[in-house]
A and B are shown apart, each in its own frame.
Chain A
Amino acid sequence: MRTPISYFLILSGVLFTIGTVGVLVRRNALVIFMSVELQLNAVNLTLVAFSRQFKELDGQVLAFFSMVVAAAEVVVGLAIIVALFNRRRSANVDDANLLKW
């Protein structure tokens, strides 16, 4: 493999940052969720890259677990968004301020 591992790590950092900024900036709950998915995927890339670097498969197993957690999280999160939409007729996160102090 000619590509240095650090390239993958920096790429993953860039993708993670884009996801973070997406969570902070966007107002649509669905797009916020997609940004969270992007963050999870960036971390997966880091895990697999380090697994390659250190010649251990634990990183890949961890990436696998993180995919499972992401799937579970998406199921529950989308159910919450749908329930919220049924009550408020809006997927905008600014409209959900019932618990706001």
Chain B
Amino acid sequence: MVPLIGAVAADYIVFWVLAPISVGAALGMLFARNAVHSALLLIVNFFCLAVFFLVLGSPFLFAVQIIVYAGAIMVLFLFVIMLLGVTREESLVERLKGQRVLATLLGLGLIAEVALAVRYGVGISTHAAPGFDAVNRGGNVQSLARVLFNSYFFPFEVTSILLIVAAVAAMVMAGRRAPDIEQAAAAEDERAKREPEPVS
């Protein structure tokens, strides 16, 4: 039952408007032929999820979702798509027979499984405990920082190492190699090209 429109029902309306949009955008991403369309639909989906974060009482993650995901990560994706070229068509040959059908069936099974787990674990109509504002006392960012820098300080520091390693790895991976290694790799490519491809 949809209650009367008011401050209380706002999140209900937001959910039922944005949930179909997010699922539709995700399905569109799955079926889009063009990689750019996939990326744009994924951005729509990320915006929907950002609004869900807001509804669930996390304005900080709302902002981070839009800035980091919709802003940085998807721009990186589009940049790489541009670098690789968008015109190439994806081949529709199935290397494993029946892979698509099996994947769809297993996906439906996974949805059913999640629904059952939610049904028996949480309960379909369980409402969140009231008084979440008390948790966010003094602002969501402040409370989050309090938790992050008290209980999760070590993981936070490890995260910084992870980011440095990732940056170095990206530089090593995408950068030009030394000339002699480049030559060896080119020779290796030549040899692989001359030998007949083994039939798999």
A residues with CB within 8 A of B: 1-11, 13-22, 24-28, 30-31, 33-35, 37-38, 41, 44-45, 48-49, 51-58, 60-61, 63-65, 67-76, 78-83, 85, 87, 90-92, 94, 97, 100
Min CB gap B187→A, angstroms: 13
A1 & B128 in contact (Cβ 8 Å cutoff): yes
Interface SS of chain B? helix
The one of A69, A81, A100 in contact with B200, judged by C-beta atoms closer than 8 angstroms, is: A100
Give me 19 A-to-B residue pairs in the complex whose CB atoms sit less than 8 angstroms apart, sorted by A's number.
A8-B52, A11-B22, A17-B110, A18-B27, A20-B107, A21-B103, A30-B84, A35-B30, A37-B69, A41-B45, A51-B58, A55-B132, A58-B151, A58-B152, A68-B162, A74-B77, A78-B170, A81-B80, A82-B173
The one of B80, B95, B163 in contact with A82, judged by C-beta atoms closer than 8 angstroms, is: B80
Interface residues in B29-63 (C-beta closer than 8 Å to A): 29-30, 35, 38-39, 42, 45-46, 49, 52-53, 55-58, 60-61
B147 & A57 in contact (Cβ 8 Å cutoff): yes
The one of A1, A8, A60, A82 in contact with B84, judged by C-beta atoms closer than 8 angstroms, is: A82
Q: Residue of B at shortest CB range from A82?
A: B174
Q: Considering the chains assembled together, what is the distance between the CA atoms of A48 and B56 in angstroms?
A: 7
For A71, what are the chain B residues with a Cβ–Cβ distance below 8 Å?
A: 68, 72-73, 163, 166
How many residues of chain B are within 8 Å of chain A by beta carbon?
A: 90
A64-B64 contact given A10-B114, A25-B30, A41-B49, CB 8 Å threshold: yes
